[in-house]
């Protein structure tokens, strides 16, 4: 099997590809192509992968380069890991959003919607090149907002696209933590339905008991956050604690357990509180301060690259591969990562149960077939289908918001594919927090102005219809 990663120098890929090569039959005698415009990063990733014990086991070819057609030719899977927006316009968009009463993120938010407008031509070009070079390949998109881009590609090209999220594995740890242990559950199987970052656990088992009943029994007045493992740094500890306690809070208030704990999704069930929190953790900054922050972030990333690359010319023993991840998480093998599961399924090694963003096709009751939603699926080889024989039912308390988000994101993806500025403006205004309001319209106008030539000229025409 040949897999290609678009943005192949991304450090997050290292543990993913290690895990895929460790899985017998997935990449054995196969090929990984790391496509990246930054050849230095792609080469570093490739050379480090060549040093791993997993590569030695799988006898997998590792290549890198910046020729897209060479990267795509004959691929069975193409994974995409890119930022959707330039950091300056995205960061300045935070306070444009806050000032008008809206949260800001790279996914479910007005700023996230405009990020889709910025990156759409790149994804559409990739899908069109895939139609020529690898028409039967799966496009696995990790770029937010994944549901918008999945709708765009699935509904308007011949390429099959799955929108995937790191949050897929969040629930494996979040549920364990709710029940008192900071570890990743290995045998937890649940049914979920909703939209990416705001889907809900509908059914499943926890240690032989129906999971919703187990949660109801366990989350009582004496519930408290579990003790976290010592390797988490203070930033991670705060994020984990906040996410898990928020899940518990929403369970107590609405009786729903959100499948994955990303903040912008949770925000839609507690919007005012989330907006206060956004403002608290994102103090208003001038353009000069934003530019300074960008430079600082680039230095941090360069330091991470340097730290990674220092091992390229060293002999690395078994102890390094087994334990160094405790000091540097970049080296941790990501055996449960959704990319790893997908590669195993596409290779035909085993049927895999997943949750991805793709057209509904009858999986969730009350959602149109073409609307892009997140739900439990099974994938093996060329075949993908809902994991359930009957349509899943989103909890009544959450159905209105969820279906409105699905409609908004799908309409946005359709407008971007069709390059229709009128439809694009209408799609943007359907964001279901104060939809069609003057504040929402003015926010989008400001975000388009901040983006400037990041936005394709055809899409820029949408401003006159907002």
Q: How far apart are CA 168 and CA 377, in angstroms?
A: 12
Round to whole Å and give the CA distance between 188 and 207: 8
Q: What is the mean pLDDT of each run of 10 residues along the chain (466 residues)?
A: 97 97 98 97 97 97 97 98 93 95 96 98 98 98 96 98 89 92 88 96 93 94 91 87 93 94 93 90 87 93 95 95 93 93 97 96 96 97 95 96 97 98 98 97 98 97 97
Q: Residue 283's pLDDT is what?
A: 81
Whether residue 415 is preceded by a cis peptide bond, meaning omega within 30 degrees of 0, is no
Q: Is 243 in contact with 263 (CB distance < 8 Å)? A: yes
Of all helices (H) and strands (E), which one includes residue 281? Answer: helix 271-281
Amino acid 235: pLDDT: 86
DSSP string across 361-373: TTSBTTS-TTSEE
Give the CA angle between residues 325, 143, 383 to the nearest 5°. Answer: 90
- Residue-level pLDDT at 236: 87
Residue 141: partners with Cβ closer than 8 Å, 6 or more residues away: 79, 80, 123, 149, 150, 153, 161, 162, 163, 164
* Spatial distance between the Cα atoms of 102 and 111, rounded to a whole number of angstroms: 9
d(CA 58, CA 17) in angstroms, rounded, equals: 11
Dihedral sign for Cα 38, 41, 47, 52, please: negative
215/224 Cα distance (integer angstroms): 13
Measured CA to CA, the distance from residue 270 to residue 250 in angstroms comes to: 9
Contact between 192 and 355 under an 8 Å Cβ cutoff? The reply is yes
pLDDT (0 to 100) of residue 170: 86
Query: What is the Cα–Cα distance from 266 to 269, expressed in whole angstroms?
Result: 6
| Number of other CB atoms surrounding residue 315 within 10 Å | 7
The pTM for the full model equals 0.94
> How many angstroms separate the CA atoms of 163 and 386, rounded?
15
pLDDT of residue 366: 96
The span from the CA of 211 to the CA of 224, in Å, is 19
């Amino acid at each position: 099997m040949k897999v290609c990663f678009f943005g192949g120098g991304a450090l997050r890929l290292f543990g993913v590809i290690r895990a895929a090569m460790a899985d017998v039959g997935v990449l054995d005698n196969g090929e990984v192509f790391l496509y990246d415009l930054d050849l230095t990063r792609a080469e570093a990733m490739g050379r480090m992968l060549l040093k791993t014990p997993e590569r030695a086991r799988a006898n997998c070819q590792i290549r890198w380069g910046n020729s897209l057609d060479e990267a795509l030719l004959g691929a069975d899977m193409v994974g995409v890991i890119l930022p959707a927006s330039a950091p300056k316009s995205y960061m300045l968009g935070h306070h444009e959003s806050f000032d008008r009463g809206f949260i800001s993120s790279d996914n479910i938010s007005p700023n996230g919607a405009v990020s889709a407008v910025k990156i759409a031509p790149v994804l559409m070009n990739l899908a069109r090149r895939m139609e020529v070079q690898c028409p039967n390949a799966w496009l696995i998109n990790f770029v937010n907002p994944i549901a918008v881009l999945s709708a765009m590609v699935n509904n308007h090209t011949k390429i099959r696209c799955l929108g995937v999220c790191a949050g897929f594995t969040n629930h494996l740890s979040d549920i364990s933590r709710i029940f008192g242990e900071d570890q990743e559950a290995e045998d937890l199987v649940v049914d979920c339905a909703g939209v990416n970052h705001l889907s809900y656990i509908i059914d499943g088992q926890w240690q032989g008991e129906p999971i919703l009943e187990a949660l109801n029994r366990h989350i009582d007045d004496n519930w408290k956050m579990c003790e976290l493992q010592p390797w988490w740094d203070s930033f991670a500890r705060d994020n984990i604690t906040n996410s898990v306690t928020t899940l518990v809070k929403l369970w107590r208030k609405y009786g729903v357990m959100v499948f994955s704990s990303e903040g912008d999704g949770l925000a839609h069930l507690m919007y005012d509180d989330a907006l206060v929190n956004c403002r608290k953790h994102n103090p208003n900054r001038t353009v000069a301060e934003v530019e300074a922050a960008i430079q600082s972030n680039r230095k941090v990333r360069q330091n991470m690259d340097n730290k990674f690359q220092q091992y390229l010319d060293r002999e690395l023993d078994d102890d390094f591969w087994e334990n160094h991840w405790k000091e540097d998480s970049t080296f941790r093998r990501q055996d449960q990562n959704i990319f790893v599961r997908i590669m195993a399924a596409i290779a035909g090694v085993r049927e895999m149960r997943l949750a991805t963003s793709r057209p509904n096709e009858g999986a969730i009751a009350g959602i149109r077939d073409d609307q892009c939603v997140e739900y439990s699926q099974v994938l093996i080889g060329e075949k993908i289908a809902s994991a359930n024989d009957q349509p899943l039912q989103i909890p009544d308390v959450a159905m209105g918001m969820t279906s409105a988000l699905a409609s908004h994101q799908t309409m946005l993806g359709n407008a971007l594919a069709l390059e229709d500025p009128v439809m694009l403006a209408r799609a943007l205004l359907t964001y279901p927090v104060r939809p069609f309001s003057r504040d929402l319209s003015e926010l989008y106008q400001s975000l388009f102005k901040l983006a400037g030539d990041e936005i394709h000229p055809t899409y820029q025409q949408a401003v006159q219809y907002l």
